[in-house]
A and B are shown apart, each in its own frame.
Chain A
Amino acid sequence: MNTASEAEQETQLTRRLAENGQVLRGVFAGCEDVVFHSFQTIHRTSALCVYCTGLCNTERLEQQLLAPLEQTGLAVEPAVEGSAEVPVASIHQIRTVGQAVTAILDGEAVLLLDGQASGKGYPLYKVPTRTPEEPAAESTVRGARDGFTEALATNQSLLRMRLKTPALKLHSNTIGEYSHTKVTLVYVEGIIQPGLVTEVNKRLSRLNIKDVLESQYIEQGIIDQPFSPFPQMIATERPDVVVSNLLEGRFALLIDGTPFSLIAPVNMFSMLQSPEDYYENIYMSIFVRWLRYIFYALSLLLPSAYVAITTFHQEMIPTVLLLSIARAREEIPFPALVEALIMEIAFEALREAGVRLPKQIGSAVSIVGALIIGQAATTAGIVSAPMIIIVAITGIASFMVPRYSASIATRLLRFPMMILAGTMGLIGVMLGIILVVIHLSSLRSFGRPYLSPAAPTFSKGLKDVLWISQPRSK
């Protein structure tokens, strides 16, 4: 498409087949996968069928389009517009060169006949796809086992399967100068806040990117505050998560080519909710949810609190505990801050190594990490055992966050926090917390305050934050 100029895109197809063919061949020069199949119909009209081999289902093309036209004559020649000539669903008219090019790249077979100024697109897609599997990053004990795939059509059907109502609206945009990725905006009419849909479409249309390989490409371009470490959209692979969020008045973006869909507007607390909170016993869910809040705070604050207390406020530690910490730290050459920084950085490095390595070697990393960093460093007197415990708890705490992108923020902010703790003690930690809260208070996700429903308070929403709002039978 980029080889064709704007003017060429708008060019109308002419009545002469040879001319149309030439233009298209020019556009697709050098594209081996685009096939130009010239033939004569049974009624002696010259015809040209253009399609892309990888994307178009050649078997169906043969059986349903080419064979009827060339040999059997079963198909009425598509002379009359709008008549159903071949048994293929949703055929559409093509009038310009641009439309033809788009249709071919989408995987349609485009049929041009001599003497007609319009062609037809037959959607005989054969998109390489996989069957829906349980998403690896968001597994649940109880709950649906299907997840989104890379194919947009599958994802749409997974949603429609769960929301059988005409109020579920889907609206597609094409984004990406080169990739022409389909991005579908999904929402439930009547529940979604009015004005939100226009706002999203406005932001999507302002996007100017070359390609969309992952949902992050879109997210980065349309969120309110791109320079925040906190995620302003939920990325999920689970259709049930999308559905429940749609019913809470949010919208979702399904993106062709990635199993991750985006949900917004979100708030801080939705980052700490797991779909399973609603699938299990209510008391357990409330317990787990509060555990998660506490550990989320710990994942940000635990190392800095340890540094602050051991460096500045030793009197806060009970005597017996203080003695054992002092004994452990006796041989350590570093101040607590340096010790904490070394261990946290080592932990982050281990984690990154574990993610990038092939699965077979992955276990080697954990052995090296546990043995060398854990065991040897303590025995050698480089790092104290309490520090290892702190780092381990912090690590577990950050794994507890159900949304991976939300744990990124605390992982990053942990380091400046430790430095504040090492320089000003608990006062520094408090100043750090204040700065984080100021940032969270000023953050908005598609116009909605990030800390709502807590600040500003909405009592109805707050109920779902403090405990669980459960569906009740009438």
Chain B
Amino acid sequence: MLTDKGKISVTQLAFLVFPSILATAILSVPGITMHYAGHDMWLSPILGSLIGVTVIGISLGLNRLYPGKTIMQSSLLIAGWLPGKVIGLGFLLFLPHLNGLIILEYGEFIVNNALPKTPLLVIMGTMVAVCAINVRQGIEVVSRTAQVFVTLLVVMLCLIFVLLTGELRPAELLPFMENGFVPIAKGAVAPAAWFSEYTVLAFLLPYINSKKHLGRTMLVSLVVTTLAMTVTNLFCLLLMGDLTDSFAFPVMIAARYITIADFLQHIEALIIAIWIFGIFVKISVFLYIFATSAAEWFGLDDYRPLVIPLAFVSMLFSYWVVTGAAGAAALISASANIYTMMFLVGLPAAIYGLALLKKGLKLLSKG
């Protein structure tokens, strides 16, 4: 039993997933990958996308074995009632961490770039409230708002890239692979953590109305996401060179390079403003997953009553996950990335492995 009656199309699902990965990735990934991979940082997202393929595979596989069930529900069938509930509890304890982190990232981003004197609580609180309203309307509305905003987002992203082409210095690409392959792999950990967020599919796949072209669309989505991340990295590198990792939000610095006809300058505020749309979709998706998962775990019929309290919990966690900016930096670094991947890749992979094992045993005992 799903806790939401709404149905969405595969395209809408792709529109939901795209900003769920990219909205914060574009802000943070260039700096982090630069830190580890240096000049070759644009290769890191491509390597990281392998995790994306894995996670999409796991999600689709689980959905094929247990159609119409989210990972919360299928884990009960796969591992048994009590272990399944424990796994679910794991997700429920992890999701507020992730939500809190995303909300905090948004707050820091706005405070740093647009409203330095406004208290964090106001910035994050208004956003979470808006997302909670969105989530309460159900998956159909969440995906429709995503469609509207992602279209705007993509147009704007393309616009930034096109307007910046004149400023690029391709020489920054050299020396290529100066220190071999290892730094690239190290740099790939951060994008991989973001790609692991494709696990949202395991929670959202039951809501699609038809499985036609499902795998293909998801792969296209992965390619587009990888491409966007690579291009962003490349642009940051070609614009700022080695300086990239000294900025918290390199893309915003890149946007400052834009001038059109000496008239349209300093359009960062506009870019920040439109970027809010992407983050709004991302927070909505994760809040939705949090609320539906919690409702499923507690065995409720409807997830809606949980949305506001859980939004509040996420809000609290955004204060609890870190202490100060130094803590925030640590949380999007290596150890935190591994923590994220443990829940978003490791746990689903274990569940899927168990499911395959069970299926194999069943086939053996039959035949």
- Residues of A near any B CB (own CB < 8 A): 309, 312-313, 315-316, 318, 424-427, 429-431, 434-435, 437-438, 441-442, 449, 451, 454-457
Residues B148 and A455 in contact, CB atoms below 8 Å apart = yes
A442 to B134, CA, bound (A): 9
Contacts of B147 in A (CB 8 A): 454-457
Residues A316 and B11 in contact, CB atoms below 8 Å apart = no
The stretch from B83-91, B122-130, B171-179, B196-204 touching chain A is B122-130
Q: Taking A434-B130, A437-B148, A438-B145 as contacts, is the C-beta distance between A425 and B266 under 8 angstroms?
A: no
Residues A427 and B123 in contact, CB atoms below 8 Å apart = yes
In the assembled complex, B270 has its CB within 8 A of some CB on chain A: yes
Q: Which among A426, A438, A457 is the interface contact of B11 at CB below 8 angstroms?
A: A457
Q: List 6 A-B contacts (CB under 8 A).
A: A316-B267, A424-B126, A431-B130, A435-B133, A455-B145, A456-B140
Contacts of A431 in B (CB 8 A): 126-127, 130, 276
Q: Taking A441-B137, A455-B148 as contacts, is the C-beta distance between A426 and B272 under 8 angstroms?
A: yes
Q: Which among B144, B265, B267 is the interface contact of A441 at CB below 8 angstroms?
A: B144
A454 to B110, CA, bound (A): 30
Residues A312 and B115 in contact, CB atoms below 8 Å apart = yes
In the assembled complex, B221 has its CB within 8 A of some CB on chain A: no
Residues A318 and B264 in contact, CB atoms below 8 Å apart = yes
In the assembled complex, B24 has its CB within 8 A of some CB on chain A: no
Residues A426 and B266 in contact, CB atoms below 8 Å apart = no
Residues A426 and B280 in contact, CB atoms below 8 Å apart = no
Contacts of A435 in B (CB 8 A): 130, 133
Q: Which 6 A-B pairs have the closest CB atoms?
A: A455-B147, A441-B144, A455-B144, A313-B269, A426-B273, A442-B137
Contacts of A309 in B (CB 8 A): 269
A273 to B25, CA, bound (A): 39
- Residues of B near any A CB (own CB < 8 A): 8-9, 11-12, 110, 114-115, 118, 122-123, 126-127, 130, 133-134, 137, 140-141, 143-145, 147-149, 262-267, 269-270, 272-274, 276-277, 280
Residues A316 and B144 in contact, CB atoms below 8 Å apart = no
Q: From B146, which residue of chain A is reached at the shortest CB distance?
A: A455
Residues B141 and A441 in contact, CB atoms below 8 Å apart = yes
- What DSSP secondary structure best describes chain A's contact surface? helix
Contacts of B264 in A (CB 8 A): 318
Q: Taking A318-B265, A426-B272 as contacts, is the C-beta distance between A434 and B115 under 8 angstroms?
A: no
Contacts of A449 in B (CB 8 A): 140, 144
Residues A426 and B277 in contact, CB atoms below 8 Å apart = no
Residues B276 and A430 in contact, CB atoms below 8 Å apart = yes
Shortest CB distance A212–B (Å)? 33
Contacts of B12 in A (CB 8 A): 455-457
Contacts of B277 in A (CB 8 A): 430, 434
A236 to B133, CA, bound (A): 34
Residues B148 and A441 in contact, CB atoms below 8 Å apart = yes
Q: Taking A312-B115, A456-B12, A457-B11 as contacts, is the C-beta distance between A430 and B126 under 8 angstroms?
A: no
Contacts of A429 in B (CB 8 A): 273
Shortest CB distance B251–A (Å)? 17
Q: From B142, which residue of chain A is reached at the shortest CB distance?
A: A441
Contacts of B276 in A (CB 8 A): 427, 430-431, 434
Residues B266 and A315 in contact, CB atoms below 8 Å apart = yes
Contacts of A437 in B (CB 8 A): 145, 148-149
Contacts of B269 in A (CB 8 A): 309, 312-313, 315-316, 425-426
A431 to B126, CA, bound (A): 8
Shortest CB distance B36–A (Å)? 32
Shortest CB distance B108–A (Å)? 14
Contacts of B145 in A (CB 8 A): 434, 437-438, 441, 455
Q: From A441, which residue of chain B is reached at the shortest CB distance?
A: B144
A438 to B149, CA, bound (A): 11
Shortest CB distance A261–B (Å)? 29
Residues A424 and B141 in contact, CB atoms below 8 Å apart = no
Known: A434-B134, A451-B144, A456-B144. 9 other contacts (CB 8 A): A312-B114, A316-B266, A318-B265, A424-B118, A425-B269, A434-B280, A456-B9, A456-B12, A457-B147
Residues B263 and A316 in contact, CB atoms below 8 Å apart = no
Shortest CB distance A463–B (Å)? 16
Contacts of A318 in B (CB 8 A): 262-265
Q: From B267, which residue of chain A is reached at the shortest CB distance?
A: A316
A271 to B6, CA, bound (A): 27
Contacts of B267 in A (CB 8 A): 316
Residue among A435, A455, A456 with the highest chain B CB neighbour number at 10 A: A455
Shortest CB distance A413–B (Å)? 15
Contacts of B123 in A (CB 8 A): 427
Q: From B129, which residue of chain A is reached at the shortest CB distance?
A: A431
